[in-house]
Copies of this chain bind each other. A is one copy, B any other.
Amino acid sequence: MVDRLGENEREKGLGELNGWVYDAATGAISHVFKFKNFSEAFGFMSRVALAAEQAGHHPDWSNSYNSVTVTLTTHDAGGLSARDISLAKAIDAIVA
């Protein structure tokens, strides 16, 4: 089990990320990534999939052509956990 982040930890974590938005209603962070075309978008998704599998923590995400919306939360924790911040950082590093 992993603990849900408290407000201070959450704010600190969000401050270390690039462009992720926290939704208090769902306890999730999300980010819409835009690419040149489907090939670039799916290339990004493939790299995120590997990072997610390595982390043992997976996104809820959708894709439409060149757009990928990634949502992260920890269902077991009932909200945002350190796992989400960690995976978001890995995703930020992929698009950096």
Identify the A interface with B (CB < 8 A).
38-39, 42, 45-46, 49, 52-53, 58-65
A/B interface sample: 20 pairs, CB < 8 A = A38-B49, A38-B52, A38-B53, A38-B58, A39-B53, A42-B49, A42-B53, A45-B45, A46-B46, A58-B64, A58-B65, A59-B63, A60-B62, A60-B63, A60-B64, A61-B62, A61-B63, A61-B64, A62-B62, A62-B63
Q: Which residues of the other chain, B, contact A49 by a CB distance below 8 angstroms? A: 38, 42
Q: Which residues of the other chain, B, contact A46 by a CB distance below 8 angstroms? A: 46
**CB-CB nearest in chain B for A61:** B63
Tell me the bound Cα distance from A81 to B58 in angstroms: 33
**CB-CB nearest in chain B for A43:** B49
**CB-CB nearest in chain B for A56:** B38
CB distance from A33 to the nearest CB of B (A): 14
Tell me the bound Cα distance from A52 to B65 in angstroms: 10
